[in-house]
Structures are given as C-alpha cells and as structure tokens.
Structure 1
C-alpha cells in the first residue's frame, strides 16, 4: 500500500514538473512573439527602422532583462506597439518624431528615454501603466504644458529629466506623487523664473529624499530652498544671480554657481556653505576680486575659477589666516586657469604646497622675486611668465631662479632718473653754446683804409726794370 502511494506521489510530482516546464516553454514562445512584434514589426522588418533588442543579465541575481534601442528611427506614436514585451528593462526612443507621449504598458520597465522628440505637453496618466519605472528622460523636447497628475502612478521614480524644454510654470504639488525622487533636472527652461518666487520644495511638492537638483539657465534672479532639506548637489550655472543665495540647504556637498553676475566674492556669500566639498565659480563674466575670508573653509576639497576672465585680485587672506605651521588639509584641487591674476602672495605658499593639482594655465604671471616661491612647488602648474620680457612664455618651473628678480627702485623712480638726466644734458649743452658766443658788450670793428689788412693790394711795376 505504501509503495503504491509512493508511486502515485512520484507520478504527481513528475506531472507537476512537466506542466511547469510546458508553461515556461509557452511563456518563452509568447515572449519571443511579443519581442518580435515590438522590435521587428512586419512593416519594418529587415529595414533600418526596426529596433535593436538585446537580452542581458540584470542584477541582483542575473535575471533576464531586455534592452530595446529604437533611437533615430523617425517613429511616431502610431508606429509603436503600446504593449511592451515581457522582461523589458530599458527603452530608448530618443531622436524620433514623437509629438506625444506613448502610453505604454509594462510592469518591468525601469528606464524610458524620450529625449530629442517633439512632445509639447504632458497629460494626466501618461505614465501610470509603468509602475516599476525608475528613470524618465524627457529633455530636449518642446514641453510647454504639464498637467497636475502627469506623474501619478510612479512610486519608484528616482530620476526625472525635464531639461531643455519651454517650461514657464509648473502646477503646484506636481511632483508630490514621486515619493523617492532623488535627481531632478529642470535646466535650460529659460523662462522658468516666471514660475514665481517662494520655496521650490513647497511649491512643487518635492520629497525630502531629493539629493541632486539642476537649475542651469533658468533666468533665476533669486532662489530659496529649505535650509534643512537634505540636498547634496545643486547646479545654478548660467543664471542672473548677483550673489550666492543665502538660503540654501546646509547639507550641500557640491555647488556650481558658474556663469552668473557676481562682481566680487565676499565672505557673506559663502558663510553658510559649511559642508561644501566642491565649489565651481567658473566662466564668471563680471567677477573681478575675491575678498578676505571668502573661501575660509576646512572641508573644501575642489575649487575652480576657470575662465573667469575678469578676475584680477585674490586677497592674501581669501582662504582665511593661513599659518606657516598649519595648513588646510582638505583642499586638493585648485584652478585659476584663464583668469587675469598676475601674482600670488607668498603667505599662500603653505596652502599651495599641499595641493595635488594647481592649474595656472593662461595667467599673465609677473615672475619677480615675490613669486619665486611658486617655482618651488612640488607639482606642475602649467603657469607661464608674462613679465619680465626676457623670460616671457617660459614655464615657471623651467625659468631659472635668478631670473625672478625685483628692482630695488620702483619703476617711476627709473623714469624720473631718465628725465632728470635728459634735462641736465640739455642744460649743459645750452650753457656750452652760450659760453662760446661773444659777449653782448664786445663790438667787432673792421678797419677800412690803406692800413687795413683787407685793403686792396696794388702791385706797382719796378721802375728800374721798366724805366719807361
């Protein structure tokens, strides 16, 4: 009896295994058909307009994933199947002719790229069937209008790219459904400043997990962000800011304020940037000077003023009071490439010595005795001498130390000496000429008559030889 039961159980197990195998084979067949239907439709099969589909192993356990590349195919919405294949992980539809967002259906798609299309508006529910979506790229379109529920149904979205569009305003609480959004890019929406002032977090409903925010070229004249927001990276390049915003999250690690309208960097600009490790102040068209204590930070690691072409003055205490026995160990990379700085105070030597990278390429350096310490730095700075003319164009490290000389007198003194010598020479010549001229009281008279040396000489014939 027991043996019969074992045989029965064995038969049931074998039957179950066969059924499971049949289902897997059938699923594979269905999946292959769906993949062919999407990637190689009959109207585009064996043509350049068919997509490129590839199977890869996805983390964490090497599960199957399908990558679909349909870029540069000139697709419109009507050319696409809205039901995506099983296991699809990424879908690239960039550089096509889409004038609307295709309403796809998939529970496995993680990344959707719709860049470089002609989408002009986002409607409510455009992405609600993509419940597993993590990255959404909508940059380089012509989006003007966004409905309030455009991003509903995306609880796992971590990256949202809306850069290079025509956004003027965004509906209130638009991003509230994005509970785990970590990166938001709104750059190059040139009229985004029309959305009004106020706290951007409160206005858009941003969650407190946002780590990266990019607002480049949005014509911003001011910006307010919550001081206690846990933001790590902020980019504000190419705006109209005349000062670094005073109300920024205290947790910032990277700040890019390049290409704005600051004329001078002062300590009030950076007093609240207590945790910033990377600071970029590049391509500043008006920045001329850096005041004392403006860069006084013990945690700053990377600092760049590259191509700030009006920067002429760096205060000796711009980095704070630097003692010769103690240095700011955090700073490792410093760039003044393309600025107009001519010299550096020798009190900066301890700070510059600890650097791993110092870029002085393109500076019109005045290589005199006050800058000879720069030659002794342990790294190549690519700095070249502009003056004196005898070593113009030479690398600071290649020029001889004795060429870094200073005149004992100031330049104006040499000019004064030359002018004095010229005046003395002129006075001497004048006195000599006047000394050779006759005195006014002396009158030169010419004797006229027979006794005069200038009288006419007449030779009379010898009377003896010529008696007649």
Structure 2
C-alpha cells in the first residue's frame, strides 16, 4: 500500500505522543496512589492511614490502594461515596464522629475482606438490606449514637459472620421479628439507650449463639415470662435503667448459662428472690439504685454460685438483715456503697461467708460497726470510708484492724474533738478508754472470776474428800488444848505458896460456916 511520506511521519508522531501521554498518566496515577492528604498519617509499611481531625469533607481517593486500615474519625464527611471501590484490601474502617446522614446501597461491595466497620456518632437515620451488601467477612459493626428508629426484617442478612453489633444510643422503637435473621454467629448485641417499650423477644429468639445482651436504658415496666426464650447461651444480661417495677416469675426461665445480671437503676421494691432462683450459674449480680428498704433474710436464696454482689446507690435501703446471705457461701465480694440511709447491719448478716475477701461499705450512714460482724482480719480489701462514725472506746478494735492493713482512710465524725481525724491506729485514751483496752479489761475480769470459781470448787472438793480427817484433826486439837489447860492448872507449887494458898482456902471455908477466922500469923 502506497503511503505519502508526510502521512507516515504524522502517524509516527501521533503514536509517539500517545505513548508519552500514557506514560505521563501512569506516572501521575502512581504518584497519586501514594499521596497522603494534609492532616493525615500514611504508613506504607503497616498499610495504615490515620486522618483524625483532618478537616476532611470527603473520603480520600488517592491513597495507597493496598491499605488495610483507614481511620477517618472526627472529620466532616457527609456521605460514603464510591471512594471505597479503590481499596479492596481494607480490614478495618473507622468513620466515627462525622456527619454521615445516609449510606448508599452497595457502598461497601468491594470490601470482601473488611472485618470491622465503625460508624458511631453520626446522623444515620435509615438502613436497607443492601446497605451492607458485600461485607461477607464483617465481624464487628458499630452504629452507636445515630438516628435509627426502625430495624426492618432482613436488615443484616448479608452479614452472616457478624459477631458484635452495637445499635445502642439510637431512637429505635421497633424491631421487626426477622430483623436479625441469619445472624447465627452473633455473640454480642447492644440495644441499650433506645425507645423500646418491651423486650423484642421474637427478634431475639433466633440468636442462639448470643452471649451478651445489653438492653437497658429503655422504657420497660416489666420483664415478661420467657422474654429471653431461645438465648440458652446468654452469659451476660444488662437491663440497667430500664424503668422496671416488676419482674415476672418466669422472666429468666431458660437462661441456664447466665453468669452476670445487671438490674440496677430500676424501680424494684424488693429483691426478686424467686425469679433469680431460676439462674443456677449466676456469679455476678448488680441491684443498685432500686427502691429496696432492706435486704431481707434469704434475699438471695438459690444463688449458691453467687460470687460478687453490688447494691450501691439504693436511696431507701436502711437495713441488711441477719441471714441475708444464708444461701451464698461462695460470695467473695460485697459492695454496698453510697446507700445514704443504710445505718444497720444486723449481727449475723455476714455470717457463713468463708470466702468473703472484699467488703466495701463506703459512703453509707453507719455510726459504728460490730466486731463480730465479719472476720475482719481475713479481708483482702476493706473500704469503710465516708461513714459518720462515732469514735469511742467501742471502736478501738477497729482502730487496730485498720492499723494492721493498707486500707482506705476511715475518718471520725464524732465526737467534736476527733472530727476529721483518722481512726487508724488511734490510741485507747484518745477514744475515751479510761484504763485500757476494754477487751483486756473484760479478759482480766473473766480470768479473775474463773480463778475464784476454780478455787472455791477445789476447796469444796477437798473438804468433802478430807472432812473426816479435818474433823478428827479438829477434835484432837481441841482435846490437846483442854489437856494443856489442865496441865497448866495442876502444875506443882512451892511449899510457901502451898501453905499460903491452903490457909487462904481455910479462911474462905470458915467465913462460909460463920466461924471467926484465925489470922494466918497466929497459926
């Protein structure tokens, strides 16, 4: 084929220009691939990009395409666009604290290896079943603190490997029965701080692998029978601050694996003893900020595995009765802090607790403590601070207990001259003990009394066993005394004394017969 020379030259020049343009584009793309925006930290070795408070309004598209983690917290990003299509190797994405309002369908379709997606503290109000399409490896999804109101059926069906789902602090008032369909691997679910008016039991029942459920800070008034049906592996249940004033008899039925139950911040007027007794493996129980007036005898009957109990901030609690923990020999820790009216723990309230090692009685209304309340010396942790203690001689034992350990400060409230002073190591005379430690006084008195009783007993025993000998000895002594007197009376006189005494006797006889006596000198 014939070609004009200038045409050939023109074609060659165009080809060369095209090659040069392509090289420039490729060079530009390669340069852009490693571009790191202002305010970001890009590490091509660890494949981590961090753009915290970088004032970004869009997701960067010119980062290293091999990045595995991107942190875009605290920016002004409003939408998840197609930018993630460029980063197919991502494992972790954090878009928390932005201005996201919506997430277009299939936005994460390229993220087949994504494991964690954090979208908390945004303004997301709606999701669809295609929002998370493609996230087949996702195990953690955090949507806390958004504007979600309804969880529709099939919303998370594409997340078959999801293990943790945080939907707390939204505005959710409705959970459809199949909202959690196909979440057979889910282990942790947060639905706390929403607007639920009841336990969404039908939606929860398919979650047979669930280990933790946080559903407090809602608007419940009661826990119904079998409200957690199907959650046979549940180990942690948090119903804090849900407004409960009633717990049905079978509310916890079937929760045979439950070990940690939080029922604080409700309106319960009594410890739900019968309801709790259906939880054979319960170890941790939180019941603070309820309306109890007393922890009554047998309040925790049936909870033989209970190890830790917390009843803090119960504004009406005044008394812990004797036998309150009768069935709880495995208790290791009791925390009864900040109960402003708690003034009495009856003797025997803490009896029968051989494993008790942590006792917190801080910020209550105690004015004294009984020495026999607990084996104080065996406690590893003791907190008696911020109680209005009257420091007198009856608390000298506590002064010695505190002196022997590194415990939190215990300060006197009364009497006036001891106010604000530490009770720890306080001397007996400072506490008004007149002579010595009252315990030592009692010990001396006891020993003295015992000695007297023992001496009297021995004396009586000796008397009864030796009374004949004693009687014979006394008789013999008496006879010998009489004999001694007779001997003294009959002892020999001199001749002169005998004559004088005889004459005197004769005169006495004559006087008695009426005969005038002859003077002794005339004889």
Does TM, normalized by the shorter one, top 0.5? yes
Give the drift of 1:176: 2.0
1:122 alignment partner in structure 2: 151
2:337 alignment partner in structure 1: 306
Gap regions ≥5 residues in structure 1: 1-28, 33-38, 57-63, 322-327, 409-468
Aligned 8 A contact 1:227 1:250 in 2: no
* Equivalent residue in structure 1 for 2:317, among 282, 287, 290: 287
Is 1:160 matched with 2:189?
Answer: yes
Could you tell me how far apart the structure 2 residues matched to 1:227 and 1:247 are? 12
Question: What SS does the aligned partner of 2:91 have?
Answer: strand
Aligned 8 A contact 1:109 1:133 in 2: yes
1:316 alignment partner in structure 2: 347
Give the drift of 1:152: 0.2
Give the drift of 1:254: 0.2
Question: What SS does the aligned partner of 1:403 have?
Answer: helix
Decide which structure has the larger Cα Rg and report it: 2
CA deviations 1:70-123 (Å, max 9, x no partner) are: 011211224671425132110000011100135202111000000010000000
The structure with the greater share of residues assigned to helix is 2
TM-score, length of structure 2 as denominator length? 0.63
Aligned 8 A contact 1:159 1:184 in 2: yes
Gap regions ≥5 residues in structure 2: 1-29, 34-47, 70-88, 436-523
Give the drift of 1:318: 0.5
Report the more deviating stretch, 137-146 or 226-235.
Answer: 226-235
1:180 alignment partner in structure 2: 209
Q: CA RMSD in A?
A: 2.8
Question: What SS does the aligned partner of 1:184 have?
Answer: strand
Give the drift of 1:200: 1.8
* Equivalent residue in structure 2 for 1:151, among 180, 191, 203: 180
Is 1:330 matched with 2:330?
Answer: no
Matches within 5 A, 1:329-368: 329-348=354-373, 351-368=375-392
Question: What SS does the aligned partner of 2:145 have?
Answer: coil
Could you tell me how far apart the structure 1 residues matched to 2:423 and 2:270 are? 35
Could you tell me how far apart the structure 2 residues matched to 1:178 and 1:65 are? 28
1:461 alignment partner in structure 2: none
Aligned 8 A contact 1:300 1:331 in 2: yes
Could you tell me how far apart the structure 2 residues matched to 1:317 and 1:121 are? 52
Question: What SS does the aligned partner of 1:73 have?
Answer: coil
CA deviations 1:5-63 (Å, max 9, x no partner) are: xxxxxxxxxxxxxxxxxxxxxxxx9xx9xxxxxx99xxxx992543899637xxxxxxx
Aligned 8 A contact 2:234 2:255 in 1: no
Report the more deviating stretch, 282-291 or 100-109.
Answer: 100-109
Aligned 8 A contact 2:140 2:164 in 1: yes
Matches within 5 A, 1:375-394: 375-377=399-401, 378-379=404-405, 380-394=407-421
Could you tell me how far apart the structure 2 residues matched to 1:288 and 1:54 are? 60
Could you tell me how far apart the structure 2 residues matched to 1:251 and 1:211 are? 9
Question: What SS does the aligned partner of 2:221 have?
Answer: helix
2:127 alignment partner in structure 1: 101
Aligned 8 A contact 1:49 1:73 in 2: no
* Equivalent residue in structure 1 for 2:225, among 173, 198, 204: 198
Give the drift of 1:399: 2.6
Q: Number of paired residues?
A: 351
C-alpha change, 1:86 and 1:153, in structure 2 (3 Å) is same
**Which protein has greater RCO, CA pairs closer than 8 Å, 6+ apart?**
1
Could you tell me how far apart the structure 1 residues matched to 2:200 and 2:109 are? 30
Is 1:234 matched with 2:243?
Answer: no
2:167 alignment partner in structure 1: 138
C-alpha change, 1:238 and 1:135, in structure 2 (3 Å) is same
* Equivalent residue in structure 1 for 2:292, among 246, 249, 262: 262
1:55 alignment partner in structure 2: 68
Question: What SS does the aligned partner of 1:370 have?
Answer: helix
Aligned 8 A contact 1:54 1:67 in 2: no
Could you tell me how far apart the structure 2 residues matched to 1:54 and 1:278 are? 45
Report the more deviating stretch, 234-243 or 374-383.
Answer: 374-383
1:405 alignment partner in structure 2: 432
Give the drift of 1:332: 1.4
Could you tell me how far apart the structure 2 residues matched to 1:121 and 1:84 are? 27
* Equivalent residue in structure 2 for 1:216, among 234, 240, 264: 240
C-alpha change, 1:48 and 1:360, in structure 2 (3 Å) is farther
CA deviations 1:178-211 (Å, max 9, x no partner) are: 120000011100x2226x6323223xxx321000
Report the more deviating stretch, 379-388 or 131-140.
Answer: 379-388
Aligned 8 A contact 1:357 1:381 in 2: no
Give the drift of 1:228: 6.4
Give the drift of 1:295: 2.8
Give the drift of 1:227: 7.0
Is 1:274 matched with 2:304?
Answer: yes
Could you tell me how far apart the structure 2 residues matched to 1:184 and 1:228 are? 12
CA deviations 1:269-318 (Å, max 9, x no partner) are: 12222211110000001000111011343211111111011101111111
CA deviations 1:207-231 (Å, max 9, x no partner) are: 2100000101111122231276221
